[in-house]
Amino acid sequence: MSAPHSLSAWIEGVGLIAPGMPDWAAGAAVLTGRAPFQNAPSVLPAPLLLPPAERRRASRVVRVALASGLAALEHAGIEATTVPAIFSASTADGHNCHALCETLASDDHRVSPTRFHNSLHNTPAGYWSIATGAMCASQSLCAYDGSFSAGLLEALVQAITSQTPTLLVAYDAEYPEPLFAVRPIPDAAGIGLVLSPVQTPRSLARIAIALTDTPPDPLAEPTLDTLRTAIPALRGLPLLGLLAAGGPGCVALEYLAPLSLSVSLDPC
């Protein structure tokens, strides 16, 4: 076997939407212990870039994905049209899936065309390109509870191989019952990260990633760690905690057992 291989880039922008953490500024305060964590439902902004009809119909996964991605790009000061976007989630739209399965289990199997195209795993990526006009490559990944790390790995690899900034949007949202009982994700959440292959004046930190056997690190605050393990996209919170703390450091993120993702940050 080869020696552990490290890949690196620079973090240019962050977006966060999570229960009790409506944006990155609030999340950074909570993750560093400067503000107490107060659990509250995630606030999902309406996707203003979409045409009015699509905006009204936009589901919770589309809202959380678009908002966390756009927040990261705004933080980085980069236009969406030039940036390959990597979407990663453990599920598609759970409410839409439930409605489709109910219809298909009924005597009348006729489904609505909108329900059908909204059932796709890449629906948020499709709406992203329609909303932003971005015609560059986008990706839609799934790796169950390892989806954050799978997306981070792909975003970093794309940044390095294409030598352009890339956007990671890791997001998830809940299923209603009865699927909630077998996949109990409590709320929607999303993390957006802009990665650049070169350091820029806006770079926040250098990020280096390697595959490791080290088990995933929990968050020190138990209520926050509960959130990390409850919503797959928030498996990335330890990385955000490190970034918010501002010093150099290393954490292991959950990926695909027995592999974890070792993430080292060096602030700029």
Partner 1 sequence: MTPLHLARHTVVTCVGDGLAPLRAALRTGTGGLTPCRFDGVALDTWIGEVAGLDGTALPAALADYDCRNNRLARRGLESDGFDATVRAAIARHGVRRVGVILGTSTSGILATETAYRQRDPLSGALPASFIYRGTHNTYSLAAFVRDWFGLEGPAGVVSTACSSSAKVHAAAARMIHAGLIDAAIVGGVDSLCLTTLHGFASLELTSPEPCRPYDAARKGISIGEAAAFALLERPPASLDADAVLLLGCGESSDAYHMSSPHPEGRGARQAMEAALADAGLTADDIDYINLHGTATPNNDAAEGCAVAALFGTRVPGSSTKGITGHTLGAAGALEASVCALALAEGFLPGSVNTRTLDPGIPIDYLLSTREAPLRHAMSNSFGFGGSNCSLVFGRAG
Judged by the rule CB under 8 A, the positions of this chain that interact with partner 1 are: 1-2, 5, 7, 90-92, 97, 100-102, 104-105, 109-113, 115-123, 125-127, 129-130, 132-144, 146-147, 150, 153-154, 157-158, 160-161, 177-179, 181-183, 211, 255-256, 258-259
Residue 120 CB, shortest distance to partner 1, in Å, is 5
Q: Which two tokens stand for residue 35?
A: 């503000």
For 25, 30, 67, 207, 232, the CA distances from 251, given in Å and listed in that order, are: 21, 18, 26, 11, 17
Asked if residue 17 lies in contact with residue 62, where contact means CB atoms within 8 angstroms, the answer is no
Short-list 70, 93, 63, CA closest to 174: 93
**Cα(188)–Cα(62) distance, integer angstroms:** 10
Residue 32 CB, shortest distance to partner 1, in Å, is 31
Q: Running DSSP on this structure, what letter comes out for residue 235?
A: G
Residue 93 CB, shortest distance to partner 1, in Å, is 12
Residue 259 CB, shortest distance to partner 1, in Å, is 6
Tell the residue number behind the tokens 């922008």, with chain if given: 13
- Cα torsion at 120, 125, 129, 134 (round to 10°)? -140
**Cα(70)–Cα(29) distance, integer angstroms:** 21
Residue 165 CB, shortest distance to partner 1, in Å, is 16
